[in-house]
């Protein structure tokens, strides 16, 4: 496994106190002072990480410049950006960000720094399922303001950085989907990391991404299809559909799935997504594990006359 430390190369803060200008100073400010809100942005050049590398973990370290006391009731958050920021970014023209990928952290401690696990975000950048345009940091409390070192800091030890542990992609270490003549026409064979072949009814839907990324994609699809009405976790006022999943998990492996129940509304043509995720752990066995499992998926609002339903199954094996 390789490890790389990448310092931030861009940072910026904005506030509605000065809605037509940005703050490009030796610290970034996050939160609210009770009257004005402050948001900050950070960007890293991750081009030194090989394309298709397997990211095992990635952690962001921010160095605090104030509030050295313990209070975990004050929550702050960060999310990946959909748009780039620049010195012309202001409160009135701030870049859009992913409201569905939210990582919380609690920086008000006696420590001089705070470390946040951002593996999901960095992994999506490396795999290019999300374009790297940086992150936004924002506060969750109306009366809490804090600050961290920035790229402009005169003290290089205060510059934010990420540490990424990864493994360069190797086809010899990854399970590949291969169809062989020895299999029947209505299925195909997959080859696991031990070189053994096994049948998988869902092999055509095989996707080499982790469970968290699958869920993130579903959230994104849901958001784009449904706008602000997206609701991947339906309320109790719903009906239930039963979906049966049958497949075979390879020996000595872990398989993640996401069952996406898509409902096309006849009245508007809008596609609503309802899903469940699961993990099949066969890591301790040397024989294939047959799966035959039924899921109850809630649908809200209930199915109306003319609505159509479609089930899509996404799956991936976990890398060891």
Domain ranges of the chain: 2-167, 209-317
How far apart are alpha carbons 95 and 78 in whole angstroms? 14
**Which residue in the block uniquely carries the two structure tokens 């996404």?**
314
Q: Which two tokens stand for residue 179?
A: 């169809």
List the alpha helices (DSSP H) in the chain: 119-126, 211-226
208: region left, alpha or beta (phi > 0 left; psi from -120 to 50 alpha): beta
What does the pLDDT read at residue 66?
A: 92
Please report the sign of the dihedral spanned by the C-alpha atoms of residue 85, residue 224, residue 296, residue 252: negative
Residues 6+ apart with CB under 8 A from 290: 246, 247, 248
pLDDT for 203: 42
CA distances from 101 to 131, 223, 258 (A): 14, 12, 17
Cα(320)–Cα(173) distance, integer angstroms: 9
CATH number of the structural domain 2-167: 2.60.120
Residue 162: count of CB within 10 angstroms of its CB = 22
Q: CB of 108 within 8 A of CB of 52?
A: no
pLDDT < 70 regions, the chain: 170-238, 319-320
Whole-number Å distance between alpha carbons of 111 and 105: 14
Measured between alpha carbons, how far is 247 from 261 in angstroms, rounded to an integer?
A: 18
Strand 76-80 versus strand 145-149 pairing type: unpaired
Phi, psi of 122 (to 5 degrees): -65, -40
User: What pTM, to 2 d.p., does this model score?
Assistant: 0.57
- Whether residue 69 contacts residue 110, with contact meaning beta carbons closer than 8 Å, is answered with yes
- Cα 14 to the chain's mean position, in Å? 25
Write the CB contacts of 311 (distance below 8 Å, at least 6 apart in sequence). Answer: 243, 259, 260, 261, 262
Q: Which two tokens stand for residue 299?
A: 């649908």
Whether omega for the bond prior to residue 91 falls within 30 degrees of 0, making it cis, is no
Quick one: pLDDT at residue 104?
A: 94
Beta-strand (E) ranges in 197-270? 197-199, 239-249, 253-264
The predicted pLDDT at position 273 comes to 83
Integer angstrom CA distances of residue 194 from 198, 206, 281, 286: 11, 18, 17, 10
Identify the bridge partners of residue 256 per DSSP, sorted by sequence position.
Answer: 279, 316
User: Within a 10 A sphere around the Cβ of 311, how many other Cβ atoms?
Assistant: 15
Q: What is the helix (H) or strand (E) element at residue 109, kind and residue range?
A: none
Say how far apart CA 242 and CA 262 lie, in whole Å: 13
């Amino acid at each position: 496994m390789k490890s790389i430390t990448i310092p931030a190369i861009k940072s910026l803060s904005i506030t509605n106190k000065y809605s037509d200008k940005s703050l490009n100073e030796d610290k970034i400010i996050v939160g609210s002072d009770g009257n004005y809100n402050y948001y900050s942005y950070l960007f890293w050049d991750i081009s030194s990480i090989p394309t298709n590398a397997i990211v095992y973990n990635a952690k962001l370290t921010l160095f605090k410049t104030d509030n050295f006391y313990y209070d975990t009731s004050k929550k702050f958050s960060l999310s990946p950006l959909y748009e780039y920021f620049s010195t012309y970014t202001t409160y009135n023209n701030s870049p859009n960000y992913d409201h569905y990928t939210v990582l919380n952290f609690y920086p008000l401690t006696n420590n001089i720094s705070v470390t946040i696990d951002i593996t999901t975000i960095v992994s999506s950048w490396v795999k290019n399922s999300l374009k790297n345009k940086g992150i936004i940091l924002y506060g969750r409390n109306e009366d809490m303001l804090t600050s961290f070192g920035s790229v402009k800091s005169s003290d290089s030890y205060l510059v934010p950085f990420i540490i990424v542990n990864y493994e360069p992609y190797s086809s010899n270490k990854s399970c590949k989907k291969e169809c062989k003549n020895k299999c029947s026409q209505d299925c195909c064979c997959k080859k696991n990391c031990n070189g053994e072949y096994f049948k998988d009814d869902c092999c055509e839907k095989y996707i080499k991404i982790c469970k968290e990324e699958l869920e993130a994609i579903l959230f994104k699809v849901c958001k784009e299809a449904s706008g602000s009405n997206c609701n991947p976790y339906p309320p109790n006022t719903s009906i239930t559909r039963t979906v049966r999943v049958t497949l075979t998990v390879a020996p000595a492996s872990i398989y993640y799935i996401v069952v996406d129940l898509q409902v096309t509304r006849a009245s508007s043509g809008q596609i609503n997504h309802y899903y469940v995720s699961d993990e099949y752990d066969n890591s301790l066995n040397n024989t294939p594990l047959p799966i035959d499992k039924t899921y109850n998926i809630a649908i809200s609002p209930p199915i109306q006359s003319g609505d159509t339903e479609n089930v899509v199954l996404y799956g991936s094996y976990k890398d060891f």
